Amino acid sequence: MNLTADDAWGALFDLDGVLIDSPDAHACAWAEVFRPYGIELPPLRLHREEGRTSLEIGRRIIHDYRLDMDDEELERLIELKRSIYRRNSPDGMRSDALLAISELRTSGWKVGLVTGSVRKNLESALQPHEIGLFDLVITAESYVYGKPDPEPYLKACSMAELASERCVAIENAPLGIASARAAGLKVVALTSTLPKEELEGADAVIDDLTVLSRLLESWKVEKSEY
């Protein structure tokens, strides 16, 4: 495939809550590591934080609950949280995600993965052949500033050798939507984690990925007609 061809487009998928049903496992792991500090973290609060790096999430929790904790102790908690999550992470990709990726690849789309998770978390949830479906993979180790900063998506577009207006992000949380929009991408939001009312800023909101390829192909046609 010629990535610089005029008809080249890219679909960039978030991981958690889009490709895999993992937000609850992440929320439970965060709650478990902070419970000894007398904190009961609401799952909804953690779902709304989705997209940030673990360090950013941890620092915000420390600030909001006025904990006396330095970065060294926080890093220890983060590693514990990750190990708890990996013991309970989903086993493989959602069936509708596999279908969408297959259809898009057949139609000539460049397919990428853009996540705030570290590589080990990715590898604990997806099989090697599933990771191999992607033309590019961006994890937390790939950038300095996480979502909602545009850096993750800007880096993905650069790796794909595609202009941002020829890439579409598939997200499930406000911070991911904000990141993609700031990078100049159109966004499809999935209601897998939060209701439609909390997914403002997306160009389209869908309930599952079975309709994704048709939607993206229609956008591609509209763009070509301008």
Q: Where in the chain is the domain with CATH 1.10.150?
A: 23-88
Contacts of 29 (CB under 8 A, 6+ apart): 81, 82, 84, 85, 88
Helix orientation angle between 71-88 and 54-64, rounded to the nearest 10 degrees: 120
> Domain 10-22+91-224 maps to which CATH number in 3.40.50.300, 3.40.50.1000, 1.10.340.30, 3.30.70.990?
3.40.50.1000
Q: Residue 223's pLDDT band (boundaries 50, 70, 90)?
A: confident
Q: Are 10 and 112 in contact (CB under 8 A)?
A: yes
Q: Where in the chain is the domain with CATH 3.40.50.1000?
A: 10-22+91-224
The whole-chain average pLDDT of the chain stands at 94
CATH of domain 23-88: 1.10.150
Mean pLDDT of 108-128: 95
Whether pTM > 0.75 for this model: the answer is yes
**What are the residues facing 92 on neighbouring strands?**
none
Q: Residue 196's pLDDT band (boundaries 50, 70, 90)?
A: very high
Read off the tokens for 76. 């220890």
Instruction: Note if the bond before 148 is cis, omega within 30 degrees.
Output: yes
What's the pLDDT tens digit per position in 138-190? Answer: 999 999 999 999 999 999 999 999 999 999 999 999 999 999 999 999 999 99
